[in-house]
Amino acid sequence: MSSTAERAPRYIDAINQALAEAMAEDDTVVVIGIDVGAGEGIFRVTRGLFERFGPERVIDTPISEMGYVGAAVGAAMTGLRPIVEIMFMDFLGVCLDPIMNQAAKLPYMTAGALSVPIVFRTQTGAGRSAGAQHSQSLEAMLAHVPGLKVVMPATVTDAHDLLLAAVRDPDPVVYVENRRLYATRARLDRDPLPLGVARVAAVGEDVTVVTWGQSLRECLTAAEGGSPSLEVVDLRSLVPLDMETVLASVRKTGRLLVVHEAVQDFGAGAEIAARVADELFDDLRAPVRRLGAPAVPMPFSPDLERALLPSAVAIAAVAEKLTRES
Amino acid sequence: MSSTAERAPRYIDAINQALAEAMAEDDTVVVIGIDVGAGEGIFRVTRGLFERFGPERVIDTPISEMGYVGAAVGAAMTGLRPIVEIMFMDFLGVCLDPIMNQAAKLPYMTAGALSVPIVFRTQTGAGRSAGAQHSQSLEAMLAHVPGLKVVMPATVTDAHDLLLAAVRDPDPVVYVENRRLYATRARLDRDPLPLGVARVAAVGEDVTVVTWGQSLRECLTAAEGGSPSLEVVDLRSLVPLDMETVLASVRKTGRLLVVHEAVQDFGAGAEIAARVADELFDDLRAPVRRLGAPAVPMPFSPDLERALLPSAVAIAAVAEKLTRES
Amino acid sequence: MSHPDPSGAPVVDPAASAPLESLFASMALIRAFETRVAELYRDGEIPGFVHTSLGQEAVAAGVGLALRPDDYLATTHRGHGHCLAKGVDVDGMMAELFAKATGLCRGKGGSMHVADPRLGVLGANAIVGASMPLAVGAGLSSKLRRQDRVAVAFFGEGAVNQGMFHEAMNLAAIWDAPVVFVCENNVYAEFTDSRTMSRVPRVADRAAAYGIAASTVDGNDVEAVHAAAQEAVERCRVARGPFLLEAETYRSHGHYEGDAQPYKPAEESDAWGALDPLSIAEGRLLERGAGSAQRLAAVRSRARERVEAAVERARAAPPPAPEEAYEHVFHG
Amino acid sequence: MSHPDPSGAPVVDPAASAPLESLFASMALIRAFETRVAELYRDGEIPGFVHTSLGQEAVAAGVGLALRPDDYLATTHRGHGHCLAKGVDVDGMMAELFAKATGLCRGKGGSMHVADPRLGVLGANAIVGASMPLAVGAGLSSKLRRQDRVAVAFFGEGAVNQGMFHEAMNLAAIWDAPVVFVCENNVYAEFTDSRTMSRVPRVADRAAAYGIAASTVDGNDVEAVHAAAQEAVERCRVARGPFLLEAETYRSHGHYEGDAQPYKPAEESDAWGALDPLSIAEGRLLERGAGSAQRLAAVRSRARERVEAAVERARAAPPPAPEEAYEHVFHG
Ligand SMILES: Cc1ncc(C[n+]2csc(CCOP(=O)(O)OP(=O)(O)O)c2C)c(N)n1
Ligand SMILES: Cc1ncc(C[n+]2csc(CCOP(=O)(O)OP(=O)(O)O)c2C)c(N)n1
Ligand SMILES: [Mg+2]
Ligand SMILES: [Mg+2]
């Protein structure tokens, strides 16, 4: 930790920094959640905030997700801009209503009279033997709910930029961290991309690989092989969905592989795949493929778990196969 | 009502009859929910059951979905076979945890030592000006959760057969009624199809239309036009997903349109579309299309609502366009 | 019955109570509105689900008149009366129920989602229990922004068994949020006598589990409701923390319009019928010489006329344009 | 402190209490298990999250020994002790924590999901509060099937603020389900002193809101816990309805292994450290002449040996076969 000054910030530092910036620039921004205050967060994401901004702006809650997430929605309707934490994405099981039935719907139901500028901060990520109830990537569920924006930062820069953008956004935004990325380090890019724009993370020729969140690393590793040449698109947000960038890339490569850590069946990859297969029907040189986790709850065993998650090796293999199919 | 004896049963009668049969054949079957007992159900689906089977088997609950759905899961683990009602599918917002994190996962997490033979009965359906919080079709969310089976009866026969199959099934099954179908009438088929098998509801040549739930009616109406000639496949269940029947049909027609009442973006139609576009890449004569509701909360206004739901006219138009694209 | 209030003596000067005339007029408006809505629904002029608050007017009026225009209010599927008592425009409400472009929500919300943020009305809500966390958030917002706005959550006694009640009450308590929880105990939740769904018949008795002060009031006595509401609201106003007010009343219509109510014992409805909140207020006004029978009848008929005018305007108003279906999903 | 129990006098004959020797042996096993697990986790031999129950052994042992093998038990992320006290096989548990094929869940569950339905153990659970509705369901099942099996839900004081507590307590009450709610009040929920998260410090005081009888017991006095648990269990056994038992104790390790616990005042941990449940039991046994220091040391070392044997077996056991990842999603 002593060398932090010289070293590039970690993903987790970038989140922390964005939280501090958001709170400093707008005093209606408050952070709400279990142990986010004096405890500095179960993963230490909120460290320093309580000390700096005090208990009125960094608000500890009891274990009452339905209640405090609902209260955060009510606060967002009445002049605050809460960043409310759902400690594990799996806990949507106990607080879906305020997200799905309240925040996502009230602006529409009131024809815009109410606005709900809120960020639902949560984290996900299998690969740590956290068991089936603490390993789910549920972004597809939320992207399916009209009225929610869904962002999934995959890089240190996006961890920072997308969080700030989410806080400044007038709409409810679900911001999903991946805890396997917390320790990754990189310098922040200077020119932030806006929320809603995808990024070409690696330029390539043969196969477009669309991904988001922690799978980006696996995809980039797969791309390092060089053959086939992969163009990796980091989607950054599922809603809004930047199909232009995706389509432009697939127009060039003629092939698409969508990769995500979430369960493949009825996952968000299906939407991308279906759209591309439709819109580029005549341009595709090979079928659009997807690679996600198989339809099983995530097992505790590290070996079993590892075998289920899309790896760089598997990504490269599917991509290679795609080039042979056309 | 006096002519019921002569007339074919309604969809709602078929559900009621299946409930009674399931309870009669197995005395561990219990019905649990808000007002399912003496009140006979808010839509009168459970009428007569309380009188016939008594308060120990038709169990009224307080407005405590998280609690009573969770209790039903606990009861299923310990010798009962509960049919638990979630009055509107939208109320998943207040009871997702016992479904997603308990029932779906406990059998796997215990390597099969526990089983959870439970039916989550719920109903959905826009088109009745019930407003954005009472009109959602959320089957995609549940189909995405490994460990849940998801059935969506579209016909009177299936309302009966799939419910009985769901109760007899050793796994958690989500059984989704559509309230716009309650009053539809038909005689029960004699030979029930098992759970997990799709049904060709109309034979046709030009375009395969895959659907489920209430949209089946619209698709069949669209098919009546005759030109283009539509082959309508009623999926009956999303999990298990009978791709064989779908693929066989699309192999024949070379074209696929997936139709559902749920929001199209990140909806279950994307999974079918992505699979077919992949597996039949060389056989497709036109791109796979989807027709679902646009990504907006369902408005109260009947006019606005009607305009958003896939209609027979729209289905026929998309199908017709598809035939022109190849 | 009043729970011991840890923070001391009454904060409201009884003379500050709204005069019974105003309370009566507010109730008359609600009665007229709901009566007409029930007819219009029966006749198919209003779509969707409609839950009227007939018989419960005293709760809405009594609480509504204890609030400032900038106080917050979150309510339920049975929320027409609460909105009207808070001052929401009758035309805008009626047009909303007719799904017209002139409706408060331009026809997108309907009966179960009427809202008017200009008057702090955060909306009716079709999820039982959801009004409570929303109101806690509004109260928190008021407190943190150093305002003295109070947030009121209306809910039925059926909602008390929802986990959201528990979590919201506890949050309001530990955050000392200016929230008045108003439980309208109208005996029934849909078709169920709520007394069978809890071993503790009195909702106010549950407040002790959160260290929240509470009281039960005769919900058909509009003056009693108003006095209790004012007391509770003023406590919040001066930062003495949340309060649970239970108003005992009776739902005189079905759960929804069209409900035949086979589950209600006749003696019960008869007994409550004799306790009509408008008649009680009328009796008192006459007794006190505060108005003649004629003048009171005029108040009622002016209310009916006001509602009828709203109906005419709603009928005449245009529906929302088709493209509006796609608007307002996002602000940005 | 005992709440008035509406259903009458004690149902348990005090002489039927398990002897202190058995309770001590049970605690010694849990202590040995948890101590070893903490080391193994620190050394990276056990993956995932681990939450030990060190310091809380008396609650597990006292309740566990009041149960029959066919009684149901649902517990939390901190459930090792409860499972062991219910009689779950030490080898199977340890192997599960090692993610081995010989584990109770064949390595698919892990520390937070150990289960053994043969002994009524419906599982540890990683969702705070989830044990409670599951136990209510098990109790309902027992009741409707005319069995006399009792269901126990373990949970922490932090879980009491979850809506599931509220809903489950009320359901158990109105269904008269044979459920003992055991709240292990160990002061902390993660890094938070739970007394700051409710205005009502005593969990048992919240039971009145459901009409459920409740009591608070010294959770470090294994005999007291056992007596109270037996009383509660027997009430359920004879269909006198649910009970809430609060056991006051202290989490002597961090929330998870590795937690540095800056939030705990030193005096507090010291004070509780002096109340070690095993030492208390030992002192009493010696005082009563029921065992020599040597014999008690032998009990402790046998427990450590038992655990060490389990560790060796777990280490030697094979991991699950890769294809098992795809099995057990469905039964049919
Ligand atoms: C979470 C949820 N569960 C169930 C319902 C269906 N429902 C609508 S109103 C109602 C009864 C509410 O009773 P109460 O709270 O007493 O209010 P009242 O109708 O008497 O005003 C129920 C069960 C719902 N809308 N939301
Ligand atoms: C629904 C839910 N919210 C939050 C968490 C994260 N979490 C795990 S344990 C815990 C604290 C639980 O405290 P308590 O109930 O007192 O049990 P203890 O850990 O003290 O045994 C929290 C907040 C969770 N697992 N589930
Ligand atoms: Mg009621
Ligand atoms: Mg604790």
Any idea which of C271-285, D5-19, D71-85, D225-239 has the lowest mean pLDDT?
D5-19
Position B186 in a domain: no
Position B191 in a domain: no
Q: Name the minimum distance, in Å, from the CA of A300 to any CA of chain B.
A: 8
**What pLDDT was estimated at residue C18?**
60
D332 falls in which pLDDT band (50, 70, 90)?
A: confident
The chains found to touch C (3+ Cβ pairs under 8 angstroms) are A, B, D
pLDDT tens for D144-199 read 999 999 999 999 999 999 999 999 999 999 999 999 999 999 999 999 999 999 99
Question: Phi first, then psi: what are they for D147, rounded to 5°?
Answer: -100, 170
Element at C183 (helix H, strand E): strand C179-185
> Average pLDDT of chain A?
97
Bridge-based pairing of strands D151-156 and B29-33 is: unpaired
B63 lies in the same domain as B123: yes
pLDDT tens for B62-98 read 999 999 999 999 999 999 999 999 999 999 999 999 9
A102 lies in the same domain as A233: no
Mapped onto helix, strand or coil, the DSSP state of residue C113 is helix
B126 lies in the same domain as B37: yes
pLDDT tens for C187-230 read 999 999 999 999 999 999 999 999 999 999 999 999 999 999 99
Look at residue C68 and tell me whether its pLDDT is greater than 50.
yes
Q: Positive or negative CA dihedral for D164, D170, D173, D176?
A: negative
Domain boundary among B181, B212, B236: B181
Q: Residues with Cβ < 8 Å from B236, sequence gap 6 or more?
A: B151, B152, B153, B154, B158, B162, B193, B195, B197, B198, B199, B212, B242
Which CATH number do you get for residue B320?
3.40.50.920
Ligand 1 pocket test: pick from C77, C186, C206 the residue with the most ligand atoms within 8 Å of its Cβ: C77
pLDDT tens for D189-201 read 999 999 999 999 9
**What pLDDT was estimated at residue A135?**
98
Domain boundary among B181, B212, B243: B181
DSSP D83-148: HHHTT--HHHHHHHHTT-TTSTTTTSS-GGG--BGGGTEEE--SSTTTHHHHHHHHHHHHHHTT--
Q: Averaged over B221-236, what is the pLDDT?
A: 96
Q: Which residues of D touch B147 (CB under 8 A)?
A: 329-330
Look at residue A5 and tell me whether its pLDDT is greater than 70.
no
> Average pLDDT of chain B?
97
Task: Please tell me the distance from the alpha carbon of residue C206 to that of residue C79, in angstroms, as a whole number.
Answer: 24
**What pLDDT was estimated at residue D104?**
98
Q: Is D165 in the pocket of ligand 2 (CB under 6 A)?
A: no
Percentage with pLDDT > 90 across chain C: 92
Position A306 in a domain: yes
pLDDT tens for D91-111 read 999 999 999 999 999 999 999
Position A126 in a domain: yes
Mutate to test the interface with D, among A300, A306, A308, A309 (most CBs of D within 10 A): A300
D270 falls in which pLDDT band (50, 70, 90)?
A: very high
C6 falls in which pLDDT band (50, 70, 90)?
A: very low
Q: Give the Å distance between the CA of A34 and the centre of ligand 4.
A: 13
Look at residue D274 and tell me whether its pLDDT is greater than 70.
yes
Q: Does A326 touch chain B (CB under 8 A)?
A: no
- The structural domains of chain C, ordered by start, are 6-319 (3.40.50.970)
Bridge-based pairing of strands A119-124 and A237-239 is: unpaired
B148 lies in the same domain as B176: yes
Look at residue D4 and tell me whether its pLDDT is greater than 70.
no
Which CATH number do you get for residue B122?
3.40.50.970
Look at residue C8 and tell me whether its pLDDT is greater than 60.
no
Q: Are D180 and D101 in contact (CB under 8 A)?
A: no
Number of folded domains that form chain B: 2
B95 lies in the same domain as B237: no
A125 compared with B25, residue with greater pLDDT: B25
B162 lies in the same domain as B33: yes
Q: Residues with Cβ < 8 Å from C228, sequence gap 6 or more?
A: C62, C215, C217, C245, C247
pLDDT tens for D5-41 read 444 455 555 444 569 999 999 999 999 999 999 999 9
A174 lies in the same domain as A206: no
Catalytic residue among B65, B139, B231, B261: B65
Q: Are D192 and D180 in contact (CB under 8 A)?
A: no
Task: Please tell me the distance from the alpha carbon of residue D168 to that of residue A254, in angstroms, as a whole number.
Answer: 55
Q: Averaged over A232-244, what is the pLDDT?
A: 98
Position A1 in a domain: no
B95 lies in the same domain as B177: yes
**What pLDDT was estimated at residue A6?**
73
Q: Does C106 touch chain A (CB under 8 A)?
A: yes
DSSP A95-125: THHIIIIIITTHHHHTTTSS----EEEEEE-
Q: Residues with Cβ < 8 Å from B112, sequence gap 6 or more?
A: D327, D328, D331
**What pLDDT was estimated at residue B313?**
97
C-alpha A257, offset from chain centre: 19
Position B222 in a domain: yes
pLDDT tens for A135-160 read 999 999 999 999 999 999 999 999 99
**What pLDDT was estimated at residue A1?**
43
Measure the CA dihedral A11/A15/A18/A22, to 10°: 170
Query: How many other CB atoms are there within 10 angstroms of residue B242's CB atom?
Result: 18
DSSP D12-68: S-GGGSPPHHHHHHHHHHHHHHHHHHHHHHHTTSS-S-----TT-HHHHHHHHTTS-
A177 lies in the same domain as A36: yes
**What pLDDT was estimated at residue B5?**
55
Look at residue B177 and tell me whether its pLDDT is greater than 50.
yes
Q: Residues with Cβ < 8 Å from A183, sequence gap 6 or more?
A: A10, A11, A12
The residues whose Cβ lies within 5 A of ligand 3, an ion, are C 156-158, 186, 189
Bridge-based pairing of strands C151-156 and A149-151 is: unpaired
CA of C159, closest atom in ligand 1: 15
D310 falls in which pLDDT band (50, 70, 90)?
A: very high
B326 falls in which pLDDT band (50, 70, 90)?
A: confident
A147 lies in the same domain as A48: yes
Q: Averaged over C242-251, what is the pLDDT?
A: 98
C17 falls in which pLDDT band (50, 70, 90)?
A: low
Taking one residue from A and the other from B, the number of pairs with CB-CB distance under 8 angstroms is 154
Count of alpha carbons within 13 Å of A27, Cβ hemisphere only?
Answer: 7
CA of C185, closest atom in ligand 1: 16
Q: Are B136 and A104 in contact (CB under 8 A)?
A: no
A209 lies in the same domain as A268: yes
pLDDT tens for A17-52 read 999 999 999 999 999 999 999 999 999 999 999 999
Mutate to test the interface with C, among B43, B47, B63 (most CBs of C within 10 A): B63
Look at residue D1 and tell me whether its pLDDT is greater than 70.
no
Position B71 in a domain: yes
Mapped onto helix, strand or coil, the DSSP state of residue C136 is helix
**What pLDDT was estimated at residue B1?**
43
A145 lies in the same domain as A206: no
The chains found to touch D (3+ Cβ pairs under 8 angstroms) are A, B, C
Position B1 in a domain: no
Structural domain of residue A281, as residue ranges? Answer: 199-324
C14 falls in which pLDDT band (50, 70, 90)?
A: very low
